[in-house]
Copies of this chain bind each other. A is one copy, B any other.
Amino acid sequence: MAEKRDIQIGMFGFGVVGQGLYDVLNSSKGIQANVVRICVKDRSKPRRLSMDHFTFDKNDILNNDSINLVVELIDNADEAFDIVKEAMQRGKHVVSANKKMVAEHFDELVALQHTHQVSFLYEGAACGSIPIIRTLEEYYDNELLNSIQGIFNGTTNYILSKIFSSGQDYHTALKQAQELGFAESNPYWDVHAFDAKFKLCIIAMHSFGLRVNEADIFNYGIPTILPHDVRLAKEKGYKPKLLATGLKIRDKLCLFVMPMLVRHDNLLFNVEDEHNAVLVEGVFSDKQFFQGRGAGSYPTGSAVLSDISATTYHYKYEYKKEGQNSQLQFTNDVLIEIYLRYGSEEVLKQFKFVDIIERHQERHTGFNYVVGVINLKDLMAIPRLRELDAFFALTPECKVNLAN
């Protein structure tokens, strides 16, 4: 083992996660890490610590040679990238929890790590306190994985849980989630499943070794779900869950995020409220299930702490799966089975079903749905899909098949 590294931290951001990390760091006995300086933006905000802990100038951290680790915990992905890039260029190790930044700048970030021989760790960017990236990197490094599926977003899972258990409609549940701090004031990235997609993009790299552009991955969220949809799911014994899926079918890899009607025999059925969960299926290890808090101050702080600690023993991700699956190709050309509730025939017509298995129409309530097979590519090609008077979800029976 190489010698332990002494850690001097420069932190960017002191919001929910930053403050959680600060507490976690101060209570942890095993790690000797010193927070030298915290860079924040808002000069008017009252702070828990005395002002000499803070700076408003990023260069106070980046130019400080005694700081060897930058912990990046700000919201803005572009600003975050600039900071992280500069930090690595100056030979500083970086720990980040910014999924959008990691997903969007993956290749550059990996290249920077190699060029500057620094650690760049981001466990906090995916599924809060669940140690999924580390587990995929270290434990499943030689295991052939077939699929990975999970609940990657705590906000939408909280909303869906409330809709299901208390019969609230989407907007009421969202409002409550915001009041309780489980949803942001601008929930767009969460509810339309972009957040889950960024995480899927990162996790797919560590699971299958394939770098997929996040813009090529389909994401569809939950804002159009109606009480009708929930009632039907309940009658059939299903729960609507927003799932991120990565699936290897022969030499193709399929990735998408969309709601699914989940049956009780699926381990994800019982994952409630703001919890996250991941189901990993390997050829040999079979199904492994991981569940934990998906978000929040301390759970994410704890993931970040674990990364900080790993930098003390010079830990780096090795992206070992890359190259192991060199023949693997990403595709959206797959057939999936979905439940589609639609407002009018005009809406229905836009969905080019290959096969319709079930039709239901109620003139008085306006509750119309079909269950059918559709090509994911055709689904993605529908203009203004998120604005349609419709809601769809994978059926519990859905097998994903290559279209060709």
User: Which residue from B134, B138, B142 sits with its C-beta under 8 Å from A30?
Assistant: B142
Query: Does A140 interact with chain B (Cβ within 8 Å)?
Result: yes
| Shortest distance from the beta carbon of A126 to any chain B beta carbon, whole Å | 13
A141 touches B293 (CB 8 A): no
From B142, B302, B310, contact of A28 by CB (8 A): B142
Q: Bound complex: CA of A24 vs CA of B277, how far in Å?
A: 26
Question: Is the CB–CB distance between A139 and B143 below 8 Å?
Answer: no
Looking at the assembled complex, report how far the CB atom of A5 sits from the nearest CB atom of chain B, in whole angstroms: 14
- Could you list which residues of chain A lie within 8 angstroms of chain B, going by C-beta atoms? 1-2, 20, 23-24, 27-31, 129-131, 134-135, 138-144, 267, 270, 277, 282-293, 298-299, 301-303, 305-306, 309-310, 314, 316, 318, 320-321, 324
Q: Can you give 12 contacting A-B residue pairs, CB < 8 Å?
A: A1-B318, A2-B2, A28-B143, A29-B142, A30-B320, A131-B135, A135-B139, A141-B309, A267-B270, A267-B291, A277-B289, A290-B291
- Which residue of chain B is the closest to A297 with respect to CB atoms? B284
Given the interface pairs A135-B131, A139-B134, the reply to whether A27 lies near B144 with Cβ below 8 Å is: yes
Question: Are B270 and A286 in contact, with the CB atoms below 8 A?
Answer: no
A131: B residues at CB distance < 8 A? 135, 139, 288
B284 touches A292 (CB 8 A): no
CA distance A267 to B293 in the complex (A): 13
Contact pick for A302, options B129, B270, B285, B302, CB 8 Å: B285
Taking A30-B142, A289-B292 as given, write out 7 further A-B residue pairs in contact, using a Cβ cutoff of 8 Å, ordered by the A residue number: A131-B135, A134-B135, A138-B306, A283-B298, A287-B293, A289-B289, A289-B291
Please give, as numbers and ranges, the residues of chain B lying within 8 Å of A287 by CB-CB distance.
292-293
Nearest CB of B to A346, in Å: 43
Q: What is the minimal beta-carbon distance from A367 to any residue of chain B, in angstroms?
A: 31
Interface contact B316-A143, CB-CB below 8 Å:
no
Asked if residues A305 and B31 are in contact (CB atoms below 8 Å), the reply is no
Copies in the complex: 2
CA gap between A20 and B314 in the complex, in Å: 33
Q: Which of A141, A144, A303, A314 has the most CB of B within 10 A?
A: A141
Main secondary structure of the interface of A (DSSP, over half): mixed
Q: Does A292 lie within 8 Å of B286, measured CB to CB? A: yes
> Contact check: which of B1, B292, B301 meets A316 at CB < 8 Å?
B1
Q: B289 and A290: CB pair below 8 A?
A: yes
Give the complex CA separation of A139 and B303 in angstroms.
8
Nearest Cβ in chain B — how far from A114, in angstroms? 12
Question: Complex: how many Å from CA A290 to CA B285?
Answer: 13
Given contacts A1-B318, A305-B142, A306-B142, contact A288 B285 (CB under 8 A): no
**In the complex, residue of chain B having the shortest beta-carbon distance to the beta carbon of A296:** B286
Chain B residues with CB under 8 A of A318:
1
* Minimal Cβ-Cβ distance residue in B for A24: B284
Least CB distance from A145 to B in Å reads 11
B-chain residues with CB within 8 Å of residue A314 when the two chains form the complex = 1
A292's nearest neighbour on chain B, judged by CB, is B288
- Complex: chain B residue closest to A2, CB-CB: B2
In the bound complex, residues from chain B placing their C-beta under 8 Å from that of A270 are: 267, 270
A241 to chain B, nearest CB (A): 15
The complex places the Cα of A206 from the Cα of B146 at a distance, in Å, of 30
> Max chain B CB contacts within 10 Å: which of A143, A267, A316?
A143
A29 x B324 contact (CB < 8 A): yes
Complex A-B, nearest 8 residue pairs according to Cβ-Cβ distance, in ascending order: A289-B291, A285-B302, A129-B285, A284-B302, A131-B139, A284-B298, A288-B292, A30-B142
Kindly list chain B residues whose C-beta atoms are within 8 Å of the C-beta of A298.
Answer: 283-286
Q: How far is the CA of A287 from the CA of B30 in the complex (A)?
A: 20
